Amino acid sequence: MLRSKIGGIGYYVPEKVVTNDDLTKVMDTSDEWIKERTGIEERRYGIKHKETTSTMGARAAEIAIERAGIQKEEVDFIIFATLSPDYYFPGSGVLLQRELGITKTEIGALDIRNQCSGFIYGLSIADQFVRTGMYKNVLLVGAEMHSMGLDFTTRGRNVTVIFGDGAGAVVVQPTEEENQGILTTKLHSDGTYAEKLAFINPGSHGGYHSKHTGEEVDYGYSDAEYGDIFLNQHMLDNAQIFPNMEGQFVFKLAVQKFPEVIMEALSEAGLEKKDIDMMVPHQANLRISAFVQRQLGLRDDQVWNNIQKYGNTTAASIPIALCEAVEAGAVKRGDLVCLAAFGSGFTWGSALIRW
Ligand code: ACO
């Protein structure tokens, strides 16, 4: 049976290191609070005007393409996962294509917006394309430049201290080898709590969703029949253009959904917890990872965490962590690798890969 495998993997993180102490200079927070609640010690920020989400994605992609043993012109489909795109439109996939210098137009470029689950959603899409024989080299990139859109005042501290910039990429290719490749991917969503972790302006909502949130917010809309909905001066003046999160609410659901979706994938593949060799969870919070690790009965060396160094890089976090694990020799041919994520939407998912 034709399966898909990760044929090449790479990551890129910007050089600029921002420590917790650096953040204390601009907002009321502390190294102790951040480390204790999240495990984060430092994160990377891209260089303004020189780096963007798509350029960081391209740097990671170049490594993945080389390791996959192909030329960039052999990429036949691009999937780009991000919540911090260069532009509202067009998508980052075409910008990545341009940055990589891929001039061939017989390929497609798809942007997906599934936040922290973006990489797993993208992997599932790539897997389907490869299994059906439609494409041979699907380039999947997860990249984020959060640092350009966060609230660097005390008002935004619960969100801002968590996020970092970076990119990870894989090339998904066919394999006919027995006992290798992506065994299954499981995807879920529940829009009930969409606003619990959201970045809502600019947008076309016009306050419509208050019937779900139960909270009427003044966004400063005028009486004009058209215009001023996406973005207006009131939103800028009242800091309504930043991400917001009800951290504890998200945390409680995350620790429930991570183990659930991992068990679902194991059960479908006819495997058990004890079969997992390496788990690479989305890096949202070290406490969430530790909880999931306990639930699955995994040893410390069976879980790859790097949130301490990079913070939460959303769609990039799994491919960065997986790449580090592979480079460190912690994932070997034949190992059962489990990926899992939960985030805004809410969306969540898992993937099992026989490496
Ligand atoms: N520094 C200092 N104090 C802070 C900070 C900060 N950076 N942020 C919040 N606080 C304060 C709060 O104001 C609050 O003070 P109060 O008690 O006086 O009101 C106190 O710390 C506790 O705040 P909580 O939000 O309850 O803190 P919690 O222990 O829940 O930790 C955190 C917050 C780290 C955000 C946690 O809830 C979490 O990790 N949630 C899950 C995040 C997640 O998984 N996100 C999904 C992925 S992201 C995506 O999809 C885009």
Q: Given 114, 305, 306, 312, which residue is catalytic?
A: 312
Q: C-alpha distances in angstroms, 311 versus 18, 45, 118, 207, 316?
A: 10, 10, 17, 32, 11
User: Atom 46 in ligand 1: which residue has the minimum CA distance?
Assistant: 343
| Cβ–Cβ < 8 Å for 304, 280 | yes
- Quick one: pLDDT at residue 214? 87
3-class SS of residue 135: coil
Predicted confidence band at 215 (pLDDT cuts at 50, 70, 90)? confident
pLDDT of residue 325: 98
> Is-cis flag, bond preceding 281, omega within 30?
no
Looking at the CA of residue 157, tell me the nearest atom of ligand 1. Answer: 7
* Mean pLDDT for the stretch of residues 1-18: 96
Please give the Cα distance from 314 to 83 (Å, whole number). Answer: 8
- Same fold? 3-175, 181-192+246-354: yes
pLDDT at residue 157, rounded to an integer? 97
Structure token pair of residue 317: 């976090």
- Strands 77-81 and 347-354 come out as unpaired
pLDDT range class, residue 225, cuts 50, 70, 90: confident
203 in contact with ligand 1, CB cutoff 6 A: no
The whole-number pLDDT of residue 224 equals 87
Closest among 208, 352, 146, 167 to 267, alpha carbons compared: 352
CA of 295 to the centre of ligand 1 (A): 23
Q: Does domain 3-175 have CATH number 3.40.47.10?
A: yes
- The answer to whether residue 116 is catalytic is yes
Q: Is 31 left (phi over 0), alpha (psi -120 to 50) or beta?
A: alpha
Catalytic residue check, 323 = no
Q: Ligand 1: does its nearest atom lie under 6 Å from the Cβ of 159? A: no
Average pLDDT over residues 15-42: 98
- Give counts: helices (H), strands (E), the chain: 12, 13
| Integer Cα distance of 280 and 51 in angstroms | 27
Active-site residue flag, 338: no
User: CA 39, CA 309: separation in Å to the nearest integer?
Assistant: 9
For the chain, give the percent of residues with pLDDT over 70.
Answer: 100
Higher confidence at residue 229 or residue 78?
78
Question: Which atom of ligand 1 has the smallest separation from the CA of 254?
Answer: 44
Map out the domains of the chain as residue ranges. Answer: 3-175, 181-192+246-354
Q: What tokens were used for 350?
A: 């898992």
Lowest mean pLDDT among 16-25, 148-157, 223-232, 343-352: 223-232
pLDDT of residue 311: 98
Question: Could you say which DSSP state residue 317 is in?
Answer: H
- The whole-number average pLDDT for the span 68-93 is 97
- Whether 317 is in the pocket of ligand 1, judged by its Cβ within 6 Å, is no
Specify burial of residue 64 (Cβ count, 10 A radius: 0-12, 13-18, 19+). buried
Find out whether the beta carbon of 24 lies less than 6 Å from any atom of ligand 1. Answer: no
At 313, list the tokens.
Answer: 């890089």
**Closest ligand 1 atom to 247 CA:** 37
248 C-alpha vs ligand 1 centroid, how far in Å? 7
Mean pLDDT of the chain: 96
Residue 8, H or E segment: strand 3-12
CA of 159 from ligand 1 middle (Å) equals 7
CATH number of 181-192+246-354: 3.40.47.10
pTM, entire model? 0.97
**Closest CA relative to residue 221, chosen from 195, 243, 240:** 240
> In angstroms, what is the span from residue 247 Cα to ligand 1's centroid?
5
What separation in angstroms does the CA of 173 have from each of 6, 64, 111, 197, 345? 6, 12, 19, 34, 29
Question: What would the two tokens of residue 46 be?
Answer: 């891209």
CA–centroid distance, 335 to ligand 1, in Å, is 35
Work out the pLDDT band at 179, boundaries 50, 70, 90. confident
pLDDT higher than threshold 80 for residue 324: yes
Ligand 1 atom at shortest distance from the alpha carbon of 287: 39
CA distance 275 to 347: 26
Rounded CA-CA distance 162/54 in Å is 21
| CA pair distance 279, 326, nearest whole angstrom | 12
Stretch (H or E) spanning 201: none
Q: Is 275 helix (H, G, I), strand (E, B) or coil?
A: helix
